[in-house]
Amino acid sequence: MTEEETVDNMFMEQIENDCFIDLSEILELPPVALSFGEHSYQTKEGSKVAPTAIGTYGNFSFIQAPPKTMKTFFISLLTSVYVSNTGNNKFGGKLKGHRDNKCVIHFDTEQGKFHAQRVFKRVVDMNEDSDVGCYDTFGLRAIGYKTRVEFIEYYLQKTVDSGREVGLVVIDGIADLVSDVNNLEEANLCVQKVMEWSSRFNCHIITVIHSNFGSDKPTGHLGSLLEKKTETQIQLEKNTVNEGWVTVSCKRSRGYSFETFSFKVNELGYPVMVDDLYDPLEDVTYERSSVENPKINKWKQQKAF
């Protein structure tokens, strides 16, 4: 065997050791990074309750939405909840971060320095304690897409090498890590990198991409690959009943889907959770009798058409 063949064989053996899955090993549910509410599930030991994950460590999720649907405000809400690490964030409602003193690294690829800083400071200002721990922020607009990918990898590794643990990574937005969202080769390499980073650094990565115009599909080959590989696909839409609200729904999930909820931006410019979505039966008085309320019957008939 030549020296080159020996090196190649050692490399394959390392992959074999890293990727082998022992079926006899008892594996726990993936640790949750961000959650919304709770759900129960059945096991051999009986019913158990777990947080409903928006994202778990070692995986990635992405947010898709049409332009002007307050994607960056929603990113601020999620990041602020995660940074607070208590579950008592006054803006987040049932949203909860499971940080455990891990680092948050926030990359903005689109905005200039002033606007990027305003987004990053919003996360801090939304917490009562101005000391939010390890929260590192970068505006990558001025560098090329290849350099952006290289820098993100460099900084994640640097964080780990310094003895800190990476928890949440935000990349707003992922389309700026490729030259063209319809370049299949670049899109594939980009998504592979995101999967590699989330696994290698055991963090959760949240990224953002636009939806195609007039469609609920994320943009380009990049969006299609994200759909196939993501843990959670989060969709934002303008609420059609309540002006100024944005509806957040779980379009796809590898686990238990979180419930649909809404947020708005308050008078101080902070994103905040709002009450449950409008229910057309909410103003109907239910009568405790064997005869169904005629108002409900009328509503049902109208909905049928």
Closest CA to 277 of 247, 256, 234, 249: 247
Burial bucket for residue 162 (CB in 10 Å: 0-12, 13-18, 19+): exposed
Going residue by residue through the chain, which has 305 residues, state the pLDDT in tens, using 9 for 90 and above.
Answer: 787 778 778 778 888 887 788 777 766 677 999 999 888 877 777 887 888 999 999 999 999 998 888 999 999 999 999 998 655 578 998 999 999 899 999 999 999 999 999 999 999 999 877 788 899 999 999 999 999 999 999 999 999 999 999 999 999 989 999 999 999 999 999 999 999 999 999 999 999 999 987 778 899 999 999 999 999 999 999 988 888 999 999 999 988 899 999 999 999 999 999 865 444 333 333 333 334 444 334 333 333 33
Alpha-carbon span 177 to 265, nearest angstrom = 29
Give, in degrees to the nearest 5, the angle at Cα 194 between 192 and 171.
145
Angle, in degrees to the nearest 10, between helices 184-200 and 145-161:
10
Alpha-carbon span 178 to 186, nearest angstrom = 6
Angle, in degrees to the nearest 10, between helices 184-200 and 220-229:
30
pLDDT score recorded for residue 288: 34
> Would you list the DSSP string of 117-160?
HHHHHHHHHTSSSS--SSEEEEE-TTS-HHHHHHHHHHHHHHHH
Q: What is the DSSP letter of 293?
A: P
